[in-house]
Copies of this chain bind each other. A is one copy, B any other.
Amino acid sequence: MANPAQYDLTYYQASIPVFIRALNNLSALLRKAVAFTAEQGIDESQWVNARLAPDMFSLARQVQSASDAAKSCAARLSGGEIPSFPDTETTFAQLQQRIDKTIAYLNSLPQDLFAHAGERPIVMNMRGTAKTFSGYDYLFRLALPNLFFHITTAYDILRNQGLAIGKSDYLGSFE
């Protein structure tokens, strides 16, 4: 156990602003995809349904999963109900709306709700079995890796399709 004097970070800081930044970067990637497919006359549904392996999730599903990782974690760490967003998006415009709704939800959560989130027991259904995580394990072993997984894989699908994006699009601006 660390010396209490070292506690200088909150669960809010380690989650909500990180999620919002990652989702804004994802949104910017999708805007570039919209511009490129329009310019090249590529059917957008071809990209929305693109994947890296036949049994991997499509781009649309990666975006939905990134949204799910962020909103589920935000709700569980703050003790609220997870907002339900049906996975019905089939266009870039709809995927942007999904990201916007997710960010709006994240922005609506006051920091105070995240106090002591690390000790909050979080019960997850893992392959049919209920498993209890600490808030710490849930955030750092499940939610953050998951969020970055789906955003990176969305990026990788777009790169694989030929979109001219780079690491700085994924990381976002540092101005």
Give me the interface of A with B, judged by CB distance under 8 Å.
2-3, 5-14, 17-18, 21-22, 52-53, 56, 111-112, 114-119, 126, 131, 133, 136-137, 140-142, 144-146, 148-149, 152-153, 155-156, 159-160, 162, 167, 170-172, 174
Contact = CB atoms under 8 A, between A and B. Distances in A.
Given A52-B159, A53-B159, A160-B52, A136 B13 contact: yes
A152 B155 CA distance: 11
B6 A10 contact: yes
The oligomer's copy count stands at: 2
A155 to B, nearest CB: 8
Given A52-B160, A141-B172, A149-B155, 11 more contacts: A2-B12, A5-B115, A6-B114, A6-B116, A7-B10, A8-B116, A13-B136, A17-B140, A52-B52, A126-B174, A153-B156
Given A9-B10, A118-B8, A170 B145 contact: yes
A46 B149 CA distance: 24
Count chain B CB atoms within 10 A of each CB in A9, A140, A159 and give the residue with the most: A9
